[in-house]
Structures are given as C-alpha cells and as structure tokens.
Amino acid sequence: MSSLLLTGIGSLVTNDPAHGGLLGELHDAALVIDGSTVAWVGPRREAPAADSAVDLGGRAVIPGFVDSHSHLVFAGDRAEEFAARMTGTPYSAGGIRTTVAATREATDEQLTANVSRLVAEMRRQGTTTVEIKSGYGLTVADEARALQIARQFTDETTYLGAHVVPADYADDPAGYVSLVTGPMLDAAAKHSKWIDVFVERGAFDADQGRAILQAGIARGLQARVHANQLGEGPGVQLAAEVGAASADHCTYLTDADVDALASSGVVAGLLPAIEFSTRSPYPNARRLLDAGVTVALATDCNPGSGYSSSMPFCIALAVREMHMTPAEALWSATAGGATSLRRPDLGHLTPGTQANLAVLDAPTYLHLAYRPAVPLVTQTFIGGRLV
Ligand code: NIG
Ligand code: FE
C-alpha cells in the first residue's frame, strides 16, 4: 500500500464538524490518502510525508457526491416526450411504460453498457457513490436482471417492482401487488439493499404501498419511498410510518408532512433536475431546512422525468431556485446523500473513511453554483484510486 499527499488545496471541505461550520472547511490544506482510505487532513504546513505528493495549486477538494436516487437500468430514451413537455404537455407517470417496453426488449449487454456509460458520466462529474433502482422490467425475470446488472456497479441497489402497474396487469392491480410482494420479491431480495414504491395517483396508493414496503422489510430490505411528486398525497406519511430512510421528491407537502419528516428523521430527498425537466414548481427546501428536516440532493437520473446525471447541476438549481445556501446544497449532495443511504462511512473526509473525493478546477466549492454547467471536476478518486 502506498500513500499519496494531496497538498496545495485552496479549500478542503471535510464535512467534519470538528473543523467548524456546516462543511468543516479548511484553507491552504493538505490530505493524505493511504491505500483506499483518508489517513490525515489538516493545514498544509503540518502535512506528514508520503510516498508521493501532488500539489493542487490552490484547487478545491470536496467529498465525492453521494447520489442517493437514480434509475440507470433502462433502454432507449424519451427525448420526444421531453420536447412535448416544453410545449405544454404535462408529465405523467404513464410514460414509464414506454421505457418498460424498450427495456424488456434489450439484451443484458445493452443494458449493462448503458449503465456503464451513465456511471462513467457521473464519475466525471464527481459522483463517487450512486444508488441504482430497478423498475423498468416489471416482470420477475426482468426485475431480477435489472438488479443483477445494477449490483455490478454499486452496493446501493433498490428493488422498485412497484414503479407503476405494467400494461399487462392494467385490469388486475391487486394481482400485480401480489406479484411484487411474492415471486418478484423472492427473485429481487438477494440482489437488493432497498425496497422502494412510487406512491402517487396513477401508480400505487397508501395501502398498496404499505403492503409492498412491509413485505420488503420482512425480507430484510430497508425502505425508501417516491413521495409527493405530482401532488399532495400519502407518500411522506407512509415513509414516516414504516421507518423509511428517505422520502424522495417532496415537491408538494402539507404542514403535517413537514412535521412528520422532522419528527421521524426520514430524509427528504430533493430532486431538482426533475422539476427542471417537467417544468414543475421546485420543492420548498427552506421550509424543510427551517423545520429541522435532513435534506439530500440527488439526480433521479432517468429517461423520463429528468435525464441529468449531474450533481453539480442539482447544486446550482438548489441554490438558484430553492434558496439553499451553497454550503447547504453541497452538504446535502454529499453528507445528506450518505445519510439518506444510511452510510455514515461516506460523505465526509476524515481519517479512516474511504478516500472518495473530487478535485475542482476552482478555488472554492462556491463555484459549483456560481459557474453552472462548467465542467469543474478535474479528478475523481474512489477508494483512493483515480477513476
Ligand atoms: O423518480 N416518479 C417515478 N419515477 C421516476 C420517473 C420515471 C420515468 O418517468 O420514467 C422519477 O421521477
Ligand atoms: Fe425516481
């Protein structure tokens, strides 16, 4: 095992409260990577010797982004649907069935290549951990295959057999819930850490969602919920009731929903690239933060409601459109994502943690929102390795 000293770091975001402020930011700093882990962080002048050293010339270093919500296992795209939305056609969950048909037709190799391409795209933009859901197969074999493919890229795999009721079960939604909680769960559970359900008008109601999440929990999976995306509804309350790790979207919330998130500790996953791409109102992040809710930012990268793989884009939207401070947005895109995935080992740069980090061609993380759409990430390290 060899050690590497990164020195000349203009601004180092550690997310370690011991260093002060929300981000534990150090100036004129250094960081030592030993093998796959962070061995030391501190002022440059106190840095210990290492086997090799790189002077970053004043660039910023941040923890790698933890993208806690994505749907990368799919075939085809829905660019025409996006174009129609931009001229006034509203987003509806029904478009999911278009991708289900294309995904079922695709070979394992085609699906794997598409995930590989998107994960590479994410890494180039500083993402070091990504959660990946199934949900475009919606048969026993196609959901199991999606999760096996996702498993090749991440430990954070999510069984989303309950994305929508597929066309072949349109007349028998109860039969589909039985499939999702029975044979499909049997096939999916061994490849999954998480179970998710889309609780929404046109997808699943609270009783169906509860049955699906409880079946998964009984099999050792942990719960996450697609909640309150297209209108107010029972998703957030259900997430709190079953002890889900996160309720994602949270676009339309009542005061009772905000209270439920604050008192239960369920993380609110905000996905602003979706509001961008569906021309919907952005979620009210300030209301959540002021109520003491833990907020994660994630891409929700998928071919329908929003096809961005970029965490920096989400940060820029969160700052400009959702009134998060740049520090809050970066925290939510790193430590917030780690909290959402129940991974206290991720999202911060402290001795002993995995060396997952991004180097920015900028003097401070503020440039992520200040210079939107500029490719500022110059290097991404995962487990101490440049990727
Ligand atoms: O998180 N809302 C449900 N699922 C995805 C969209 C999937 C699609 O449109 O294909 C989402 O936005
Ligand atoms: Fe989603």
- Give pLDDT, residue 94: 86
Binding residue per annotation — 305? yes
Give the pLDDT confidence score for residue 32 in this predicted structure: 98
Residue nearest to atom 3 of ligand 1 (CA): 198
* 49-73 pLDDT, tens digit each: 999 999 999 999 999 999 999 999 9
Domains of the chain, with CATH numbers?
3-64+349-386 (2.30.40.10), 66-340 (3.20.20.140)
The percentage of residues in the chain with a pLDDT greater than 90, rounded to a whole number, is: 99
37 lines ligand 1 (CB under 6 A): no
Share of the chain above pLDDT 70, in %: 100
Q: Quick one: pLDDT band at residue 24, thresholds 50, 70, 90?
A: very high
Taking all residues of the chain, what is their mean pLDDT, rounded to a whole number? 98
Q: 278: Cβ below 6 Å to ligand 1?
A: no
Question: Which helix (H) or strand (E) covers residue 260, if one does?
Answer: helix 255-264
The pLDDT, as a whole number, for residue 304 is 98
Token readout for 13 is: 């975001």
Which residue has the CA at smallest separation from atom 1 of ligand 1?
300
Q: Which of 82, 78, 72, 91 is nearest to 281 (CA)?
A: 91
ipTM of the prediction: 0.98
CA of 51 to the centre of ligand 2 (A): 43
DSSP 27-94: EEEEEEEETTEEEEEEEGGGPPP-SEEEE-TT-EEEEPEEE--B-----S--HHHHHHHHTTPPP-GG
pTM over 0.95: yes
pLDDT tens-digit series, residues 140-184: 999 999 999 999 999 999 999 999 999 999 999 999 999 999 999
pLDDT of residue 161: 98
Q: Say whether pLDDT at 3 is over 90.
A: yes
> Which pLDDT belongs to residue 78?
97
**pLDDT range class, residue 86, cuts 50, 70, 90:** very high
Q: What is the pLDDT of residues 204-236, one digit of tens each?
A: 999 999 999 999 999 999 999 999 999 999 999
Rg of the chain over CA atoms, in angstroms? 21
The ligand 1 atom nearest the CA atom of 306 = 12
Specify the ligand 1 atom closest to the Cα of 300: 1
Residue 69 among known ligand-binding residues: yes
Q: Is the CB of 135 under 6 A from ligand 1?
A: no
Cα-to-centroid distance, 93 and ligand 1 (Å)? 7
Q: What is the pLDDT of residue 1?
A: 80
pLDDT tier at 93, thresholds 50, 70, 90: confident
Mean pLDDT of 245-254: 98
| CA distance linking residue 348 with residue 333, whole number of Å | 11
